[in-house]
Amino acid sequence: MNFLLESWEAILPLIQFAARIFDVVLVGIIVLWLYRLTKGTSAIPVFMGLLTIYLIWKVVTFMGMPILGELLGQFIGVGILAIIIVFQQEIRNFLFSIGDRANIDKPKRWLEKLLSIRHEERAPLRIDEISTAVKKLASRKEGALIILQRSSDLTLHLQSSTKLNADILAPLIEATFHKDNSMHDGGMYIAIGRIRAVRCVLPVSQRNDLPAELGMRHRAALGLAEKTDALIIVVSEETGLISIAMDGELHRGLASEDLLEILEKELGPKDD
């Protein structure tokens, strides 16, 4: 018994040292992950400011400066509460982005059905109709914004939409985005194989590294792609170029053949 106690006392410092190392590494990974999630957004200055103040507080506490340490500690405590109040919308969107970027490629069938709109059966997605409509819209330089849902629930991010429940048909998509149609502003929302809404208002990307020539359609498409796993097709009204926003990135100047290939790869039927 004494031997076991002595052995435990001998290895306890090693365990504690390993735990401290693991603690530092884990915190570093979390900080790096948060930085990558907020990089290029308006939240990054706030994140870097809080991180800097926290590191200064730890250094001051370690050096035995109680007054300054207490002052910084109180600032951090009150500051976090103030940030939650002031940036509640940004924090809400940030939490959504964490959930949406979780690496779940193939959710279970019962969970997918449970989270589906109105628990409807999933109709086949008419990729050919979408591709045909986008090609014709691009040739006529008629701007368009088409939102294709994958696994994320987009109803939390789409605002001021006009509800619709229609088959995916190329003439209907073209007519919606015709310049004389009152519904051409905003985006068309497609989910579970049907057109669900038009005139959707999307969250605009806050990235400050985007080219100046990008219009509101492209910024809105990228804004939704940063928060969800949706695939958003954009047709430029100025140039007629086709772009796709997905996985937080914007792919510009696609040919109609490239568009069809991407849609089939990302949204086509998957083998179980």
Q: pLDDT by residue for the chain (272 residues), tens digit each?
A: 565 666 666 777 788 878 888 888 887 887 777 666 656 555 667 667 777 887 888 888 888 888 888 888 777 777 667 666 656 655 665 666 555 555 444 444 444 444 444 444 556 788 999 999 999 999 999 999 999 998 877 777 777 788 888 999 999 999 999 988 888 888 999 988 899 999 998 888 887 888 878 888 999 999 888 888 899 999 998 889 999 999 888 999 898 888 889 888 888 766 54
Domain 112-267: assigned CATH number = 3.40.1700.10
The side-by-side arrangement of strands in the sheet containing 187-191 is: 162-166, 194-200, 187-191, 144-148, 231-235, 242-246, 249-254
**Predicted local confidence at residue 85, as pLDDT:** 67
What pLDDT, in 10s, does the model give residues 57-102?
888 888 888 888 888 877 777 766 766 665 665 566 566 655 555 5
HSE-up of 215 (CA within 13 Å, CB side)? 14
Number of neighbouring beta carbons within 10 Å of residue 36: 9
- CATH 3.40.1700.10 in the chain is located at 112-267
Q: What is the pLDDT of residue 117?
A: 46
Q: What is the pLDDT of residue 3?
A: 59
Q: Are strands 231-235 and 144-148 parallel, antiparallel or unpaired?
A: antiparallel
* pLDDT tens per residue, range 140-159: 999 999 999 988 777 777 77
pTM of the model: 0.59
Q: What is the pLDDT of residue 100?
A: 53
DSSP per residue over 123-172, as a string? PPP-HHHHHHHHHHHHHTT--EEEEE--SS-GGGT-BS-EEEEE---HHH
State whether residue 85 is helix, strand or coil. Answer: helix
CA-CA distance, 106 to 151, in Å (whole number)? 9
The CA–CA distances, whole Å, from 99 to 69, 237, 266 equal 35, 33, 20
Residues 6+ apart with CB under 8 A from 171: 133
How much is the pLDDT for 6?
A: 65
Please give the Cα distance from 60 to 271 (Å, whole number): 58
The DSSP 8-state label assigned to residue 107 in this structure reads -
